[in-house]
Structure formats: structure tokens, C-alpha cells
Amino acid sequence: MSALPNTRATLNLISVSQAWQEIARRIPPPTTSTCTLTKALGRFIATDIPSDIDSPPFDKSLVDGFAILIDDLQSSQSLLINETVHAGQTPTQPVKTGTATKIMTGAPIPAGTEAVVMIEDCTVDLAANTVAIHNTTVGLGSHIMRQGKSLSCGDVVITAGSKIRPVEIGLLAEVGCAEVPVAKQPNVAIICTGDELVDVDQHPAAGQIRNSNEALLISLVTASSGNAIPLGIGRDNELELSDKIQQGLQHDVLLLSGGVSMGEKDLVPALLQQAHVTEVFHKVQLKPGKPLWFGQAEDTQPPTLVFGLPGNPISSLVCYMLFVAPMIRAYQQGTRAVDIQPDYSAELTAPYTLRGDRPTYHPARLDWNSGKGFVTPLPWSGSADQQSLAPANCLVFFKPPQREYDVGEQISVLPFPW
């Protein structure tokens, strides 16, 4: 068969938000799996998580000191020391008038305790086994954390859909969630197309470049909590690329890079069509990233979602941030929780000329000063220029129509999420 380059007019391109809606309505609802707690970082909780304990599970001391009765603070007499209770031990004697129990941080307080006095406010007479207390301002309940103060058994501590950050890991551990119900991650196959590509450990010969997109896409997918499955370089010939596409269609999502523009060897759209992947859109009103292709496979259930990303690394990155990252998130959180529009704004520090009629996402540096955000578009020499991305930490969004943007204007930014 002969794969013809796509010749669709560039007029009436789909907008970024229309493109997202087309993608979003094809994302299947989240399904549940489990993983061990230490592997749960970055995943999304699938069900509400209840606590199986009160926290703290017992009335405990918040300091190293002495457990006492309040009335004894008024007495000039030293108090007889009952015993010492360390964290992990349980008291054997109640605190009674004229006595005190030495207690360490985290230990259960003895029965009868009305307050704990810090060790710094006490003088111990070892020979007499007594303690004199200097701080008489201690109130009822001082330095005691009551059972269930933080949460009660059965309380929901994390709700379904939450992203698991280190703080959630700590909380899950506290409530005994060793096996965490998490949303299933999409398996994301990656094929980078191009006859000019060589593996990263090779030195490019004349006319060649390294396949940097594969490493970039693997790391992006991993950072989005997807499961990256690299399938290697897909050469620009129909037989080889068709075979790789068939492998890619075995997974939930297939990302291809390159081969989606107007070149003679841009075979991806035609080969996808031949593999029964229905085109949903090709080309988006967007700069960089206009050639983006999106479709869904007819022969898999649920249908594999297929993205043809432009080959240039920055174009790929922009399309990834705008469409693929939210898709992977929505796959695990549900589509309603995900919004792709930039919702931060910052003050522009340098003038910018927007040329053309496409919404433009330009690599930029976002800095904070006295609580205000300032954004500086970075000089770059086009979509292949990864070097100038190094200081970038966001994309700055310029809305058409074309015009001069002035220093001091408030402008939308899309911070890098990693």
C-alpha cells in the first residue's frame, strides 16, 4: 500500500479545548488495583480510606516530664516518684495526691494524670526518689494528647481520587493501609519514528540525531504516574512501522513521536488508519504542536487511545503537557477532576511579540518575589532547541490575536508539574 501524506487544509483547525474534550470523552472510567504502600507514591487512591484506629490510640504525653495532679502544684512538698514510663511501655500505677510518674514523650499517661510538666521545670532528688516542680502555671490537660484527638476509628482519612504524596504515605501507614487500593495506571506504549534516529548510547553519523524523545517521553509518562512501555525506534517504512504499531495497540495508550506532518515519510496517520485506528482529529490550533494527531483503535476494548506527537522535542513536550498528562491523570482520577486550562497568572518581565493566529505556549521561567509571580519567556531557536529549556519551569501562554505583549501585563502560565 502507499501511504500518502496528509493533505488536509490547515484552516478550521480544532481548538485546544475542543481537542481536550474529544480526548476526555474517550477516556475509560478508572478501575481499581492495589499496590504496596512503598510503591504508592504518585498513584491515585481508588476508594475512600478509613482509619482502623483512633489516633493517638491512647492518651499520651507530648513531652518528657512528670505526670501530676494539678492541686499538687500548689504544695511546697516534693512529689514521690511512682515509676518511669517510656514510649512503648504502659503505666502500672495511677498518679495519686503527693506522687508523680516520670514519663517520656509518646508514652501512655497513667490513670488519674491531670497534666504533664516538662522535665525542664522539675528538679529530681535521686536519693529521695522525689521531684520538685517549679512551674505552677501548668493547666489541666497540659502536654497531654487525648486518644482520638487527631482522628477516630472509622474516619475517612483520604478520599478517592486523591494523589498520593509523601504526606499521604505517612497517613496511610499510620492507619495500617499496607496494601493500597489505587487506580490502575494506563500502560503507555512509546514508539519514536524516524530513519534519522540512533539510540542514545550511539554517536550520530552524518544526517543522524539521537532518539531523545524516547527518554523524554518515558520520563514524562513515569512522572505522570503512567506505566511507560518503550517499543524502540520505528523506522520510516511501512512494514516495520506497521508491526510496531500492532505491538503498541496491545496497550491502553500508544504514543508515537514524529511522522505526523506533511513530509513524504510521515507515514503515521495512514498506517494508523490501516491498523483500524480511527482519526478523531489531526492538527490543532496550537504553537508549537500543530501536527498533533489523535485517534482510537477500533479492535481493542476499551479502545487504545493513540497520540501522534510531533517529532520536535519541544512540540512533543507541549502536546504532552496539554493533552497526554491530563489524559493519564483523568484515566486514574476520572475526567471531571481534570482541567487543562492554565489557572496561574504572573507578571511578564520582557516584551513579547505574538506572531500568527495560534495560541502559543512558550518555554519560560517563573520566579517569585515578595509573593508575586514574574514570568520571563526564554530565548529559544525553535521546537528542536532543548538546551534553552534547561532553565524553564513553565510554559507561558499567549492568546491570539497577534500583538505586542508589554512588560507588566498579567499573563497565564502553565507550571511544569515535576
Q: Which residues bind ligand AMP (CB under 6 A)?
A: 192, 194, 196-197, 209, 211-213, 257-261, 263, 266, 310-313, 384
Region near Mg ion per CB under 5 A, out of 159-167, 220-228, 251-259, 353-361 = 251-259
User: Is residue 313 a contact residue for Mg ion (CB under 5 A)?
Assistant: no
Phi/psi of residue 109, nearest 5 degrees: -80, 150
Cell readout for 216 is 523524554
Q: Decide whether 353 or 387 has the Cβ nearer to ligand AMP.
A: 387
- Residue 257 binds which of Mg ion, ligand AMP, none (CB < 5-8 A, kind-dependent): ligand AMP
Q: Decide whether 186 or 310 has the Cβ nearer to Mg ion.
A: 310
Least distance from Mg ion to the Cβ atom of residue 195, Å: 7
Q: Decide whether 151 or 314 has the Cβ nearer to ligand AMP.
A: 314
Residue 25's nearest CA partner among 286, 302, 289, 246 is: 302
**Burial state string for 313-327 with b = 16 or more CB within 10 A and e = fewer than 16:** bbbbbbbbbbbbbbb
- Residue 310 binds which of ligand AMP, Mg ion, none (CB < 5-8 A, kind-dependent): ligand AMP
Whole-angstrom CA distances from 185 to 31, 306, 333 are 9, 16, 10
Q: Decide whether 240 or 367 has the Cβ nearer to ligand AMP.
A: 240
- Residue 295 binds which of ligand AMP, Mg ion, none (CB < 5-8 A, kind-dependent): none
Q: How far is CA 407 from the centre of its chain?
A: 32
Least distance from Mg ion to the Cβ atom of residue 258, Å: 4
Least distance from ligand AMP to the Cβ atom of residue 401, Å: 28
- Residue 61 binds which of ligand AMP, Mg ion, none (CB < 5-8 A, kind-dependent): none
Task: Single out the residue of 258, 288, 289, 295 in contact with Mg ion (rule: CB under 5 A).
Answer: 258
Q: Decide whether 263 or 408 has the Cβ nearer to ligand AMP.
A: 263
- Residue 234 binds which of ligand AMP, Mg ion, none (CB < 5-8 A, kind-dependent): none
Q: Decide whether 194 or 269 has the Cβ nearer to Mg ion.
A: 194
- The residue number whose beta carbon is nearest to ligand AMP equals 311
User: Is residue 56 a contact residue for Mg ion (CB under 5 A)?
Assistant: no
- Residue 347 binds which of Mg ion, ligand AMP, none (CB < 5-8 A, kind-dependent): none
Q: Decide whether 382 or 391 has the Cβ nearer to ligand AMP.
A: 382
Contact (Cβ atoms closer than 8 angstroms) between residue 103 and residue 57: no
Q: Is 183 exposed, middle or buried (0-12, 13-18, 19+ CB in 10 A)?
A: buried
Least distance from Mg ion to the Cβ atom of residue 249, Å: 20
Q: Decide whether 337 or 384 has the Cβ nearer to ligand AMP.
A: 384
User: Is residue 269 a contact residue for Mg ion (CB under 5 A)?
Assistant: no
The DSSP secondary-structure symbol of 377 reads E
Whole-angstrom CA distances from 76 to 47, 67, 69, 97 are 57, 17, 14, 13
Phi/psi of residue 366, nearest 5 degrees: -105, 120
Neighbours of 289 (CB within 10 A): 29
Contact (Cβ atoms closer than 8 angstroms) between residue 25 and residue 336: no
Sheet holding 293-297, edge to edge: 227-234, 187-193, 253-257, 305-309, 293-297, 277-282
179 contacts: CB under 8 Å, gap ≥ 6: 34, 35, 36, 37
Least distance from ligand AMP to the Cβ atom of residue 247, Å: 17
Residue 289's nearest CA partner among 308, 262, 315 is: 315
- Angle at CA of residue 410, ends 407 and 414, nearest 5°: 110
- Residue 218 binds which of ligand AMP, Mg ion, none (CB < 5-8 A, kind-dependent): none
- Residue 192 binds which of Mg ion, ligand AMP, none (CB < 5-8 A, kind-dependent): ligand AMP
Least distance from ligand AMP to the Cβ atom of residue 320, Å: 13
The site string for Mg ion over 169-208 (x = CB under 5 A, - otherwise) reads -------------------------x--------------
**Burial state string for 350-362 with b = 16 or more CB within 10 A and e = fewer than 16:** eebebeeebbbbb
Identify the residue whose cell numbers are 516495520. 240
- Residue 304 binds which of Mg ion, ligand AMP, none (CB < 5-8 A, kind-dependent): none
Least distance from ligand AMP to the Cβ atom of residue 216, Å: 8
3-state secondary structure of 375: strand
Q: Decide whether 80 or 200 has the Cβ nearer to ligand AMP.
A: 200
Handedness of CA 174, 180, 182, 187 (dihedral sign): positive
Contact residues for Mg ion, defined by CB under 5 A: 194, 258-259
